Amino acid sequence: METPDNATETPGPTGIAAQDWATAAVDPQYRAAVVDLLGALAYGELAAFERLAEDAKLAPTLADKAELAKMASAEFHHFERLTDRLTAIEVEPTGAMEPFARALDDFHRQTAPSDWLEGLVKAYVGDSIASDFYREVAARLDSDTRSLVLAVLDDTGHGNFAVEKVRAAIEADPRVGGRLALWARRLMGEALSQAQRVVADRDALSTMLVGGVADGFDLAEVGRMFSRITEAHTKRMAALGLAA
């Protein structure tokens, strides 16, 4: 239980990241940005719930169906934590989510999987990109909001299940890899295009992203962030046996 005296070697967070919610939320623009973020994340979880429950129908076996239903249920619990948080800071959750409904609905509509494997790749890619993005943003958030965002991103557990199934399918029939690689590329393109639309529409959120509110963010840094996310995606696809 010793705490070594090395505080000077690993500097703690500074700026907003060093503040709790009560302190940081005094700034109305920061507050609005966080409400946007929680609203987007909550609607994202609800949409993911719907999508996974829908994809469960494509499952080849009862055990696979149960696995997807489990993931869907986990997303629903994240949704609940996020809407509970919105309620706790006196924001009506529906109002906070609505601005993001169209972009997320459009994303899901335009990337409806045509079979079980496409559904798995989508669950994996979508979940990974979302995690990467929110983890990047989380580092710039006040300590209370950061804990919540990291907690709901922590235990989705889509990864292993999807990776295992997709790898086995490619091994059994290598042509499947080419088709799924194209699919993963389409998912990434569609996700980026919807993300751009959201950033263009939501002043508070995008101001936070380009450094107007949270410190340490500027336009070049946003560019680097998207590079990191795209790179991580490419690595994941390679690990999956798909050329991204």
Where do contacts with a second copy occur on this chain (CB under 8 A)?
Answer: 43, 46, 49-50, 53-54, 56-57, 61-63, 65-66, 69-70, 72-73, 76-77, 79-80, 83, 93-94, 97-98, 101
- Distance between CA atoms of residues 204 and 142, nearest Å: 16
Closest distance to a second copy from the beta carbon of 53 (Å): 3
Burial of 185 (0-12, 13-18, 19+ CB in 10 A): middle
Which is nearest to 104 in space by CA: 197, 178, 26, 217?
197
For a second copy, which is the closer residue by CB, 71 or 214?
A: 71
For a second copy, which is the closer residue by CB, 7 or 63?
A: 63
Report yes or no: 184 and 122 within 8 Å, Cβ to Cβ.
Answer: no
Element (DSSP H or E) covering residue 37: helix 28-55
For a second copy, which is the closer residue by CB, 18 or 66?
A: 66
Closest distance to a second copy from the beta carbon of 33 (Å): 21
For a second copy, which is the closer residue by CB, 16 or 46?
A: 46
Burial of 221 (0-12, 13-18, 19+ CB in 10 A): middle
Single-letter amino acid code for the residue at 185: R
Closest distance to a second copy from the beta carbon of 163 (Å): 22
Residue 37 tokens, joined: 């973020």
For a second copy, which is the closer residue by CB, 56 or 205?
A: 56
What are the b/e assignments for 54-75, b being 16+ CB within 10 Å?
Answer: ebbebbeeeebbebbeebbebb
- Distance between CA atoms of residues 176 and 90, nearest Å: 49
Closest distance to a second copy from the beta carbon of 80 (Å): 8
For a second copy, which is the closer residue by CB, 116 or 183?
A: 116
Closest distance to a second copy from the beta carbon of 189 (Å): 25
Tell me how far CA of residue 128 lies from CA of 93, 159, 160, in angstroms.
25, 8, 12
Closest distance to a second copy from the beta carbon of 134 (Å): 20
For a second copy, which is the closer residue by CB, 51 or 140?
A: 51
Closest distance to a second copy from the beta carbon of 139 (Å): 29
Report yes or no: 102 and 44 within 8 Å, Cβ to Cβ.
Answer: no
